[in-house]
Amino acid sequence: MKEHILAIVEEDEDCDCGLRSQCEKDPCCVPRQTSERPCKVNRKEGHQCHPSQGICCTKECKYAVLDNLHCKNFERNCPCPNGTEPCYCGIRGRCIKDQCHSYECTRINLVECACAAESCQTCCQIGNQCEPALSVTRDLLNKKNDSATFKYFVNQVNINNNPPQTRPDVEGYTYEEFCQTNNGQRICVRTHFFIAKPGRYCVSRGNLGKCKSDRRNKFKCEILPKTPKKQIFPLISGSWTIHFGQATILHILVLNSIFIFIVPN
């Protein structure tokens, strides 16, 4: 007995709606046309993602909000199209040299690093040190009064700032205002930092994770494994029998939204 899997999302695909007849029931996925035109999310109809991409996409094909963490752009990877940097990647991320780094670091012209802190928060590499983004930003913009970094920071916040689609006092977000005076003009920018509590969703290098503690009672964001991309649109279910000629009968079953071909020897 041989088994063949249908509706597997391949490397060049966003989704896979399965058989052509089933693609008609999947409003969120445009079926493969040719080898050069793989299956893609049907963004022309306003859909943002496909449920087969994991928990960051709802059954309505919209970006999910998990513990007040918005999954916008979770499916985008580096490098940037046409080599234009920085561009969006992952959750709250920007591509720098083919790697995804938190916006909290790139907006002060730094890259992300992994560190264990008092809570699950983004850390940035500054020199030989890996420090929380909030403390690094305070140090550069307030204590050292770095005017060049502040100018870059203001520009990045004005262009790319995407505040959470919830009220600013919700759990997980810390808001802070940074000000500097230049040529007698005082400029202030208010922005946010995402800090997750233990057991809640967090982000590391654009990837979704869960906040967990180590033996030293320090916390870090443990990346969740990628959901196996083997399921199609969740509303499709059923079973069929297809006849090929006179001898071959192909039974198609749907198990947990996964198509399985069972071909008798």
The full set of domain ranges for the chain reads: 65-226
The rounded distance, in Å, linking the Cα atoms of 189 and 264 is: 67
| CB contact at 8 A, 103 and 96 | no
pLDDT at 8: 65
The CA distances from residue 44 to 48, 52, 56, 123, in Å, are 9, 19, 20, 37
CB atoms within 10 A of CB 189: 19
Arithmetic mean of pLDDT, 155-178: 69
Arithmetic mean of pLDDT, 41-57: 90
**Paired residues of 191 in beta bridges:** 176
pLDDT at 240: 37
For residue 216, pLDDT over 50 is answered with yes
Instruction: Please report which confidence band the pLDDT of residue 2 belongs to, taking 50, 70 and 90 as the band edges.
Output: very low
Instruction: Please report which confidence band the pLDDT of residue 132 belongs to, taking 50, 70 and 90 as the band edges.
Output: very high
Region of 94 (left: φ > 0; alpha: ψ -120 to 50; beta: rest) is beta
Could you tell me the pTM of the whole model?
0.76
Instruction: Please report which confidence band the pLDDT of residue 170 belongs to, taking 50, 70 and 90 as the band edges.
Output: low
pLDDT at 34: 60
